[in-house]
Amino acid sequence: MKKILLSAVFAVPFLMNAQITLISEDFESYSDGDVLTDVGGDNGWREWGADFGSASAGYSSLASSAYAANGSMSGRSVSNETVDSDGIFAWNNINAGQYMIKMNLYVPEGSAGGYIGIGDNMMDINETYSSMYYIISGDTLLLVSDGAAYIAQAPLTPGAWDAVDLMVDLDANTSDIMVNGVSVGTGTAGNGNMAINGLGAFDLWGTGINVFADPVEYNPGEFFYDDLEVVDIGCSAIMISNHGGRQLDGSRSPFDQVKAISDAVGDKLEIILDGGVRRGTHVLKALAAGAKACSFGKMFLFSLAAGGQEGVEKLLQNMHDEIDRNMVLMGCKNLKELNSSKLVYRNRG
């Protein structure tokens, strides 16, 4: 009998919100007074003067033990009347997605603070270096929009460490400030379009000017930062599931969706097939159709019910053996050779 499939596409895609840490710096590898600059390789601290075109040297941040957050060291950005301190961490540019720049921030009482700039990794070119920038002004962190209006601001605690998360959405060209876990506002990029300029660096810069003082008042600017992290919070995988067929009997199976979804997303997202996997050949078919991995539910439960832990171990061994043996029979030496050329679809008329 010909099976009649309901036309509803019920393979619900679950977005896997995988967080990937791109940059992590806790400063413990430095000694007090080390200059954060000229680290070898593509990713690392850069000195404004030496690495970004300007002849004037001396624009680097220092490692400091003055106000250690969780260990013995932090980064320090300071300015006095003659020299600004400008610690730039640069890496390969990113132009799409959502990222969280996380750090602990310490602004000593009486400090004017400084700037946190986020931009591409060609920091001095065309002055587009800060797609988005934030002013640390004593007891306030401000997100600055184009035209220098403050579109969001958050209270800081002078003389103590605050946890600051700067959410950067390159696709929407917006940023959200979170201080100590509380979101204080979102705004559109400050100094250019983030999707164009991208995210390839952040720039931690002490300033001598207290932006809130009127008339503008000179005030030595310094702040400290620790536990810096840049986290990719965008989606990296999609799970195709019909919840084991428990919701809508007769819906198309997740396997039947894999090839179309794989063709649509290319290598931008990994696909995990969920539902109906009982044999090694099911896994091989799913991988050949474009899935990266499979998951299963009832198969564990059946084995557990039949044989307890031993039953589940036997199931995993069977699965392993079947995958191994059937790859040999198919003439596939590795997973890369498991592609759609290995699948022949029956004419379903």
Q: Is 247 exposed, middle or buried (0-12, 13-18, 19+ CB in 10 A)?
A: exposed
Site string for ligand FMN, 175-204 (x = CB under 6 A): ------------------------------
Stretch of 68-76, 91-99, 268-276, 339-347 contacting ligand FMN, by CB under 6 A:
268-276
Q: Scan residues 243-262 and list those touching ligand FMN (CB under 6 A).
A: 243-244, 246
Q: Which DSSP string corresponds to 70-99?
A: SSS-EEEEEE-SS-B-EEEEEEEEE-SSEE
- Residue 341 neighbours by CB under 8 Å, 6+ apart: none
- Residue 267 neighbours by CB under 8 Å, 6+ apart: none
Stretch of 130-138, 145-153, 215-223, 236-244 contacting ligand FMN, by CB under 6 A:
236-244
10 binding ligand FMN? (CB under 6 A): no
Return the structure tokens found at 189: 């990029």
Rounded CA separation 296/122 (Å): 47
Residue nearest to ligand FMN (CB): 297
Number of Cβ atoms within 10 Å of the Cβ of 151:
18
Residue of the chain from 64, 210, 241, 257 that contacts ligand FMN (CB under 6 A)? 241
From 99, 160, 97, 168, select the one nearest 130 (Cα to Cα): 168
Measured from the CB atom, the residue of 152 and 272 that comes closer to ligand FMN is: 272
* Minimum distance from residue 5 beta carbon to ligand FMN (Å): 17
* Minimum distance from residue 255 beta carbon to ligand FMN (Å): 11
Site string for ligand FMN, 287-306 (x = CB under 6 A): ---------xxxx-x-----
- Residue 96 neighbours by CB under 8 Å, 6+ apart: 170, 171, 195
| Cβ atoms of 75 and 37 closer than 8 Å | no
13 binding ligand FMN? (CB under 6 A): no
* Minimum distance from residue 300 beta carbon to ligand FMN (Å): 8
Site string for ligand FMN, 270-289 (x = CB under 6 A): ----xxxx------------
Q: Contact positions toward ligand FMN, by CB under 6 A? A: 241, 243-244, 246, 274-277, 296-299, 301
